[in-house]
Each structure stands twice: as structure tokens, then as C-alpha cells.
């Protein structure tokens, strides 16, 4: 299947309208912005579920941390960079740290790395705390998604071991399980180095805003809240179970006395997923992984058993390469064309569906959400339990802007569209299918036949925030916002 031309299923319905061209900017402003904004809002609003609906329930694992946000170019001195930028699986000294950061900065690619040298790590935190713009926040995929679901009116169960102080960042209505009643917990600290588009680091320029994350975790790699979580799930009886935070196991030294602790922990994750009743939908949130062994574990212990997966463009490429070639991809295009991303989505979908069969799973993958800087894409199987795909895609798109600009209101003067007036739906040369992007109908949806199933694919442009305030955690808000509308209420 590798490299061979893609076999596309038939696309049944298409909305092709040609007048997008008229919205072209003549005087510098993009006239498409206002209609796109209005229509996305209308779609989002039309799908709000009224009062009286049964409150949906979500359970999310695993882990939490204390995030320290730092201005990357203030913390790091480019003059200290003695070697060419390059990537390392884990960081053990200052030179590697600089080279690794520079590597991802140059590509504008999101990354998360384990720092195996605790002394270096503590030192970096001390330096970071001296900078005027450094700030603390709640971190971890599970708690950030949990807060989003809570904000959307869901009942939430969160699996995490956290200190009393960190718990104050979480609304009281969210039930947290994981630690013992009076246990002293030392929170894992993640350092999030942020940079803006066009920022300079020595001779390098960042092609887009993004973040580079480092950690030196002790609690999270062990998924220490897993067992307690398992005790509470049956009674909580969630509509949706979200699995995230497994990337904290990346490059963690797990093999001790002939045991592979990580494989054992992941086996328990698998048991936790497969023990859910059919009425509970399951979602896996991908992340930045570099450890091939861990990625391979995901393809046998997690991916075959979930209904849905969510990820950004880097994570999609990485997952695709692991499934298809058994290889890790460290960075890819940080702003891929729609056609390329959709092809990877289709391939990845089919590869995971094969895994469903291979592993005799009771579940089939029926949903994929890919978020990129320029657009959101959601694929769902027709007739599956996922609802309102177009509205979910619109909501994900609006959330991307709101989160990055850190404002509920969307200011058009701080927005731009990177999507062209039309896009190909595949890079397959034999198929010239194009979708014309119509500003008054910004979410384009069509059907295809994939793995012998009718699937719906929706693509929505993102009103990209040109004055980025926040980047880390955006994916969590976006993925959760996408899921919120898709679970039947």
C-alpha cells in the first residue's frame, strides 16, 4: 500500500460553488473573513443542546501537571548554540537542549521531550522563574479537556494524582480520583517554551507560532491514577471515555529487573478500555511521541480498541508512519495542504481498521479528528454513534481561534485564512476532485467509500489568530470542543 496511488472511494455528494473567487481581496483585506465567521458561529449556535437535556458524562485519564509557560527566546541564548540544530529522543545536557529546541523552532513544529537529567531540569526552571513573563497554569491533556467538557455542561470524572494547590485550578464540580485522601503529592512540572511566528533565534526564524515542551515527570509516566479510576468508572457510567497523557511514558526508563513496567501499565490501560460497555464511546488523544517501542505498544494496546482518535498534523504523520512502516517521523510540514492531510487520514483510518480486525476488537474506528493551523478535518462513519459532524468541525475551528487569541470574541482584524479558494481532496493524480471553498458555507462535507463503509468528511477553515497569546493546550480545547457536539444527548 505504501507509495502506491491511493484508492479513493467514491465521493457521493459534493458542494461545488464557483463564486468563492469573487471574495478575493482587492484592497488587502480578505473579504471572506466576515462571512466565514458568521457562518461558523451560526453552525455552532444551531447545535447547542437546550436545557432539560440529560447531562452527558465524560471520564478522562490520565494525569495532571503544573505547567510553567516561558518565553522561549528570552530563556535560551542562541549564541550558546554550538552545533547544528538536531533532534534527540531525550535530553541529557544543555547543548542537546539547545540543539533540540532549535530544530523544532526552525520547523515551527510542536514537540514534547523528556529531560533525563534532573539537575539540568531544575536549573532550567530556576532560570525560567527569573523571567518577567513566566507564568504557571494547570497542565496535562486530561485536566485541560476535563475543564472544557465541564464548561460545556458535562458531568466530569478526572483521573489524576495532584496536590491540593493544583486542584484549586479545577472547578469543584469535577470529580478527581487518583490519590489517597490525605496523601502529599508533589506535582510534575512541565516547562512550555513558547514562540511566535517570525520570531528569531540566532539566524533561525520560526515559520509559525508553536511550543516546545520539556518534562522530567515522576507521577505521570506510571499512570499512577489508573487503578483508582478503574474503581470509579462503572458507577459513573460515562457516555464517553477519553484516554490521554500516555506520551509521558515516552523515553522513560521502564525496564527494571527483567520487567517491562511500561508494557504492563499499558496492558492495564487496554483492559480499562475493553471493559467498557458498548454504550460508552472511547476516544484516544494522540500526542507527540518519539519512542518507537511505545508507539508500537499503542498500535496493539490502545488504537485497536477505541472508537475515535484526535491529533494534530505532526501526530498524524507520525502515527501513519508507525502503522505503515514501523518508523517514527520527528517533524513534518507544519502547514500541510488539505489533500495531503486527508490522504494520510484515509490511510491511517484503514490501517487502524485493520488493527481492529487483527486484534478481534469489539469496536471499529469510526471517527478521526485532525486539527491543523489552517483547517479542521473530521471523518466519521455514516450510521455510527457520532452526530453532527459539520457543526463539530465548525466548533473546533472557532475554538482554535478563541484559544490561541485568548478571547471569546473573534476580532476579524486579528484573523486570517490560509485556506485557498479551492482544495483538492486527494493528491492522487488520477482523481481531480476539488472542493470549492465557499465563504457563506465554510464547512465543506462530502461522502466517500472507505474500508467498505460510507464515511463523511468535513473540512472547516480556521480563522487563524494572527496575534497568538497561547499555543500549548490548544489541542485539548479543540479536541474536546469537537467531541462535545458529536456525542448524542
Residues at the contact surface with ligand NAG, assessed by CB under 6 A: 8, 10-11, 71, 73-74, 144, 147-148, 151, 194-196, 199, 399, 402-403, 430-431, 433, 477
By C-beta, is 131 or 292 nearer to ligand NAG?
131
Which set of grid coordinates corresponds to residue 121? 531540569
| Distance separating the N- and C-terminal Cα atoms of the chain | 39
Shortest distance in whole angstroms from residue 377 CB to ligand NAG? 17
By C-beta, is 129 or 292 nearer to ligand NAG?
129
Shortest distance in whole angstroms from residue 254 CB to ligand NAG? 31
Pairing of strands 259-260, 175-178: unpaired
Please report the sign of the dihedral spanned by the C-alpha atoms of residue 112, residue 467, residue 392, residue 175: positive
By C-beta, is 103 or 195 nearer to ligand NAG?
195
By C-beta, is 16 or 53 nearer to ligand NAG?
16
Burial class (CB within 10 angstroms; exposed 0-12, middle 13-18, buried 19+) of 125: middle
Shortest distance in whole angstroms from residue 201 CB to ligand NAG? 10
Distance, CA of 38 to CA of 189 (rounded, Å):
40
Q: Where are the beta strands (DSSP E) in 62-133?
A: 65-71, 90-91, 111-115
Residue with smallest beta-carbon separation from ligand NAG: 147
Q: Collect all residues with Cβ–Cβ distance below 8 Å to 177 and sequence separation of at least 6.
A: 157, 158, 159, 225, 228, 229, 231, 232
Is the separation of the CB atoms in 435 and 422 below 8 Å?
A: yes
By C-beta, is 305 or 423 nearer to ligand NAG?
423
Which set of grid coordinates corresponds to residue 263? 508494557
By C-beta, is 107 or 147 nearer to ligand NAG?
147
Shortest distance in whole angstroms from residue 297 CB to ligand NAG? 29
By C-beta, is 204 or 261 nearer to ligand NAG?
204
Shortest distance in whole angstroms from residue 209 CB to ligand NAG? 7
Shortest distance in whole angstroms from residue 257 CB to ligand NAG? 40
Shortest distance in whole angstroms from residue 210 CB to ligand NAG? 10
* CA count, 13 A, side-chain hemisphere, 255: 4
Distance, CA of 188 to CA of 309 (rounded, Å):
26
Is the separation of the CB atoms in 109 and 91 below 8 Å?
A: no
Amino acid at each position: 500500500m505504501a507509495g502506491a496511488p491511493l484508492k479513493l472511494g467514491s465521493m457521493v455528494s459534493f458542494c461545488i460553488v464557483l463564486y468563492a473567487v469573487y471574495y478575493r481581496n482587492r484592497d488587502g483585506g480578505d473579504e471572506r473573513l466576515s462571512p466565514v465567521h458568521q457562518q461558523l458561529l451560526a453552525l455552532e449556535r444551531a447545535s447547542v443542546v437546550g436545557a432539560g437535556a440529560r447531562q452527558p458524562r465524560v471520564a478522562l485519564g490520565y494525569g495532571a501537571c503544573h505547567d510553567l509557560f516561558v518565553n522561549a527566546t528570552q530563556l535560551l541564548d542562541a549564541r550558546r548554540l554550538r552545533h547544528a540544530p538536531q533532534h534527540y529522543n531525550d535530553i541529557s545536557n544543555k547543548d542537546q537542549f539547545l540543539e533540540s529546541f532549535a530544530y523544532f523552532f526552525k520547523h515551527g513544529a510542536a514537540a514534547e521531550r523528556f529531560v533525563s537529567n534532573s539537575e539540568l531540569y531544575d536549573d532550567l526552571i530556576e532560570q525560567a522563574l527569573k523571567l518577567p513573563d513566566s507564568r504557571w497554569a494547570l497542565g496535562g491533556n486530561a485536566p485541560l479537556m476535563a475543564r472544557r467538557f465541564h464548561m460545556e455542561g458535562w458531568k466530569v470524572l478526572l483521573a489524576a494524582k495532584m496536590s491540593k494547590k493544583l486542584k484549586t485550578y479545577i472547578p469543584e464540580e469535577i470529580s478527581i480520583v487518583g490519590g489517597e485522601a490525605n496523601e502529599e503529592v508533589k506535582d510534575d512540572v512541565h516547562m512550555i517554551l513558547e514562540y511566535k511566528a517570525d520570531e528569531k533565534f540566532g539566524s533561525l526564524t520560526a515559520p509559525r507560532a508553536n511550543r516546545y515542551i520539556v518534562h522530567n515527570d515522576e507521577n505521570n509516566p506510571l499512570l499512577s491514577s489508573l487503578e483508582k479510576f478503574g474503581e470509579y468508572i462503572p458507577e459513573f457510567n460515562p457516555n464517553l471515555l477519553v484516554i490521554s497523557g500516555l506520551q509521558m511514558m515516552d523515553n522513560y526508563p521502564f525496564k527494571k529487573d527483567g520487567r517491562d513496567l511500561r508494557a504492563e501499565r499499558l496492558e492495564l490501560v487496554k483492559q480499562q478500555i475493553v471493559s467498557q460497555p458498548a454504550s460508552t464511546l472511547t476516544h484516544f488523544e494522540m500526542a507527540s511521541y518519539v519512542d518507537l517501542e511505545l508507539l508500537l505498544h499503542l498500535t496493539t494496546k490502545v488504537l485497536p480498541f477505541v472508537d475515535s482518535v484526535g491529533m494534530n498534523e505532526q501526530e498524524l504523520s507520525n502515527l501513519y508512519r508507525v502503522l505503515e512502516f514501523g518508523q517514527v517521523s520527528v517533524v513534518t510540514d507544519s502547514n500541510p495542504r488539505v489533500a495531503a492531510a486527508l490522504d494520510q487520514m484515509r490511510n491511517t483510518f484503514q490501517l487502524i481498521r485493520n488493527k481492529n480486525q487483527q486484534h478481534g476488537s469489539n469496536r471499529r474506528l469510526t471517527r478521526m479528528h485532525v486539527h491543523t493551523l489552517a483547517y479542521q478535518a473530521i471523518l466519521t462513519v455514516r450510521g455510527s454513534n457520532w452526530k453532527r459532524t459539520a457543526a463539530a468541525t465548525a466548533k473546533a475551528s472557532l475554538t482554535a481561534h478563541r484559544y490561541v487569541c485568548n478571547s471569546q470574541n473573534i476580532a476579524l482584524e486579528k484573523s486570517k485564512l490560509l485556506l485557498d479558494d479551492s482544495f483538492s481532496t486527494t493528491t492522487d493524480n488520477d482523481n481531480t476532485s476539488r472542493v470549492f471553498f465557499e465563504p457563506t458555507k465554510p464547512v465543506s462535507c462530502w461522502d466517500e467509500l472507505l474500508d467498505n463503509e460510507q464515511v463523511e468528511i468535513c473540512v472547516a477553515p480556521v480563522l487563524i489568530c494572527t496575534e497568538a497569546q497561547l499555543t500549548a493546550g490548544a489541542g485539548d480545547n479543540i479536541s474536546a470542543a469537537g467531541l462535545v457536539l458529536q456525542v448524542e444527548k
